A and B are shown apart, each in its own frame.
Chain A
């Protein structure tokens, strides 16, 4: 068996499959399946097992090893028999005295071919040619702080692939990779992110666990983002639900651990993360169009103190069309802004746009909120007062707002109010390009202006 770490080994697909456990239900060939990728495998079973480790994942790997020996490529075939979902990779492994393991090699994430070029062609000229475009040597934190996410995505890739990153410096690699993927989702390039994320393969694999501390090497935020992106990339939305449950299981274990250690800050952290995952599951169900499933799931979650859970439930009912159920959600919140917002949305759902307009107006007197402004303007269009709505949205842009929704609704109104909407759209894009650069994002795409 020639499966000791060997960065020059080529074609040992068995080794790689064994180390980086299979993806469930995936029939797509990932970049790491290609034969020419050198990949060290410090965690190969042969190496780990004799050292007295008999944690679950190693047993599984041995099983895989056997399967491979018997069935060649059988592990590649999708099937529920994958050992991965029950993998205990994330559970803290008992401390033990061992010589420090060799550092892991993440050079497979530094290959330029993983990353797609980002075209500037979908950027309106007003942004592309703006003096605000950052210079290529702007540091990534500055780019992010000023909302230059496309530039940040490019810079992250350049740093990763330029050869200056130590392949074993996983902290930096994952930080850059997360910046890359998160930025892509912010510039309407989620589809690209869903392809690039495949390079990570299975984050539940033992390869991603520090065998000394048992901690996962990948930052939580990247693991969470990875779930949605991989589900998209592999075209299997159900997978997201399952993967979130994997993360939730780990969060629960960490929470229990923190509680037993009386580590309050860790406890709060894992509590928040667990709650977040709970809501993400509902989101995944909504994306799968399983709205009733999402409603049942949300109903099983505890209401948060800030009222966001109540709002989420009400919005889900509205999305499903059940305005009465949405109203019931906020019935006990009378007087609060959340109740007024839901009631206004319910009026819109009932087709009572005049009544909704009244409510939005009232809300707008107390709160200076982009959502209230946009929704008021939309109601104005539905009652035949588009001109006022358009003025209102332009006013929001003047105060520095520039959400996709605001721009979409405003350009839709431009399309209605003249045959030559293009001029107005271009002018709007110039106005938005002149806005201050904020972390909310500065650069917009042609799609934002329907150009």
Chain B
């Protein structure tokens, strides 16, 4: 199979590409689980007192070898004693991490990260190597372009605007993705951004994209390079598409209601239900309001809970398992002395409605993966202030 990629004579256009593209979605790395078991008594036959001691788990049952050896170059005998076992070897979680094993699920509000690897594939010596009749190829000026196609119709225009980016997303479109790290690799740079790849070498880039819409996304990667042999050369291009579905992870329901006026200032209560509709547990990091001018709010949620001391008694942010709902509540009131409509800093009213602003929800899921989304403008019908 691999031989087909390198036919002994160059066969015009149909010849397979000399470079390959491989991708891996870079979700957070995950802590590796381990299931410690005690060594069978056969193993500790020399120890005789097996029954009278609690032996450490058998190393093979741990996520990594607990043996810690200091660097040999240290001649300081004190150094020897600073070694410590870094593995909490009775616990199910260990500090060693695994790369993401699979694509997983993509959710609105998260940042999608993906690494792109363009490789100059060569036959390894074990695979027969380049045959004598095969021409040696040089790969020059490799360029990668990445685009994200987002769903054509945006059904959730009111709910998803990510707070931490500046690129506004218009419903349905193609976004060109910046590649990192920027092409400043020393030495190999040539001709405006292209990179030369020696045989077996890889050009690795990473793209990030804030997911804002539910539905089909397509990551389109275009790779172009100049392929030179001793006698000729040509520019070749190929394109690969990776499609995935982005799902909603959080359903936000809000309900505004009037409160009695205090000191001439109108007040409202805004209740919000946050439902985790993803498949993973999430911890709510912040639930905040971004209000229109002239309004202030007080938070009636966990942020209020006292932060006692700095130890383990810290406030616990709410954790939502799949399907669970957390209720949040805010009291919104007019700023200043409540003379609405006075000057330019009054409360904005539109078509008989008072516009509050937006509600922003930030969360973290496994291994700290972040998500953030904000609602559309929330408002309530204008109600005459009760005196």
Partner-B contacts on A (CB < 8 A): 140-141, 144-145, 147, 149, 152, 175, 178-179, 182-183, 185-186, 190, 219, 221, 224-225, 228, 265-266, 268-269, 272-273, 275-276, 279-280, 282-283, 286-287, 289, 291-292, 299, 306-309, 311-312, 315-316, 318-323, 325, 328-329, 331, 336-338, 341-342, 345-346, 348-351, 365-372, 374-375, 378, 381-387, 401, 403-406, 408-409, 412-413, 415-420, 423-424, 427, 439-441
Contact = CB atoms under 8 A, between A and B. Distances in A.
Contacts of B26: 381-382
Contacts of B111: 351
Given A325-B314, A384-B180, A386-B202, A345 B64 contact: no
B92 A282 contact: yes
B117 interface: yes
A413 B117 CA distance: 10
A287 B40 CA distance: 24
Interface string B295-336: 000000000000000111010110101000000000000000
Contact of A145 (B33, B43, B180): B43
Contacts of B23: 416
B364 A375 contact: no
A403 B62 CA distance: 9
B384 interface: no
Nearest to B92: A283
B96 A375 contact: yes
A99 to B, nearest CB: 27
B86 A412 contact: no
A416 B22 contact: yes
B94 interface: yes
A144 B42 contact: yes
Given A371-B87, A401-B65, 9 more contacts: A140-B40, A319-B93, A320-B319, A322-B368, A350-B368, A367-B84, A375-B96, A383-B181, A408-B99
Nearest to A263: B52
Given A316-B93, A403-B65, A321 B364 contact: yes
Interface string B243-278: 000000000000000000000000000000000000
A164 B275 CA distance: 61
A interface SS class = helix
Interface residues of B, number: 89
Contact of A416 (B33, B89, B115): B115
Nearest to A187: B60
Interface of B: 2, 5, 20, 22-24, 26, 28-29, 31-33, 35, 37-43, 45, 52-54, 58-61, 63-65, 68-71, 82-99, 101, 111, 115, 117, 119, 121, 123-124, 126-127, 180-181, 200-202, 204-206, 281-283, 310-312, 314, 316-317, 319, 321, 364-370
Contact of A323 (B70, B121, B368): B368
6 closest A-B pairs by beta carbon, nearest first, are A349-B368, A283-B92, A272-B54, A321-B364, A441-B60, A419-B20
Nearest to B185: A384
A440 B369 contact: no
A99 B23 CA distance: 73
17 contacts: A183-B40, A186-B60, A219-B41, A283-B35, A292-B316, A306-B85, A312-B90, A321-B368, A325-B314, A328-B312, A329-B312, A351-B111, A371-B86, A371-B94, A383-B206, A401-B65, A427-B124
B60 A417 contact: no
Contacts of A325: 314
A417 to B, nearest CB: 5
B64 A370 contact: yes
Contact of B63 (A182, A273, A309, A404): A404
Contacts of A424: 124
B86 A337 contact: yes
A273 B119 contact: no
A186 B62 CA distance: 9
B95 to A, nearest CB: 5
Given A145-B43, A423-B124, A417 B22 contact: yes
A348 B99 contact: no
Contacts of B63: 371, 403-405
Given A289-B321, A419-B121, A423-B127, A375 B97 contact: yes
A273 B54 contact: yes
Contact of A386 (B91, B115, B319, B369): B115
A147 B59 CA distance: 10
